[in-house]
């Protein structure tokens, strides 16, 4: 069964995100997918913040702490792009349950961030946290359950 959930807002996050996260986590518990992927888009961000490597690194550390994911190694952060349309930083932070990736689009003052984990986390609260870090005025997030259903995987011995 496919699970897809979409939310967006302008300005402050709506008060119902805690209840909406609870619904996502309940569905995660019931369906037992391999992972939860949140595609977070932040628009109209503070231009200085999306260009500041120290802010970007501090944000990913805070996200990992808030969603209780253990970082696997240090984050990789590289700024590149000859074409102004795609110029900006790209971030990869491995976590023991998968990865956090992000692209910081300087021309648009926007962020495209993905949090993918096989452990449950609160995707809307994570989105609101990222919104705060980059002072985004508009937010869109899509959540989807990924991978095979754990209840349907064949069992085998590795012995």
Digit-coded pLDDT (tens) for 59-101: 999 999 999 999 999 999 999 988 988 899 999 999 999 999 9
The whole-angstrom separation of Cα 129 and Cα 123 is: 10
pLDDT of residue 159: 44
Instruction: Please indicate, yes or no, if residue 119 is contained in any of the structural domains.
Output: yes
Question: For residues 130 and 108, is the Cβ–Cβ distance under 8 A?
Answer: no
Query: Buried b vs exposed e over 9-39: b needs ≥16 C-beta within 10 Å?
Result: beeebeeebeebbeebeebbeeeebebbbbb
CATH number at residue 109: 3.60.90.10
Instruction: Please indicate, yes or no, if residue 46 is contained in any of the structural domains.
Output: yes
pLDDT of residue 5: 86
Instruction: Please indicate, yes or no, if residue 4 is contained in any of the structural domains.
Output: no
Instruction: Please indicate, yes or no, if residue 88 is contained in any of the structural domains.
Output: yes
Look up the domain containing 42 and give its range. Answer: 35-147
Q: Convert the pLDDT of each residue in 32-63 to its tens digit.
A: 999 999 999 999 999 999 999 999 999 999 99
How many domains does one find in the chain? 1
């Amino acid at each position: 069964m496919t699970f897809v959930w979409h939310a967006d807002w302008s300005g402050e996050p709506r008060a119902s995100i805690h209840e909406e996260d609870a619904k996502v986590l309940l569905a995660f518990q019931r369906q037992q997918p391999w992972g939860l992927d949140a595609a977070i888009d932040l628009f109209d961000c503070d231009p200085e913040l999306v260009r500041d490597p120290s802010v970007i690194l501090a944000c990913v550390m805070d996200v990992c702490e808030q969603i209780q994911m253990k970082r696997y190694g240090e984050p990789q952060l590289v700024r590149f792009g000859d074409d102004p349309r795609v110029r900006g930083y790209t971030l990869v932070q491995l976590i023991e349950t998968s990865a956090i990736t992000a692209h910081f689009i300087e021309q648009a003052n926007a962020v495209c961030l993905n949090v993918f984990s096989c452990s449950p986390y609160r995707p809307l609260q994570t989105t609101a946290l990222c919104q705060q870090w980059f002072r985004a005025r508009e937010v869109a997030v899509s959540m989807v359950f990924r991978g095979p259903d754990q209840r349907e995987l064949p069992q085998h011995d590795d012995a």
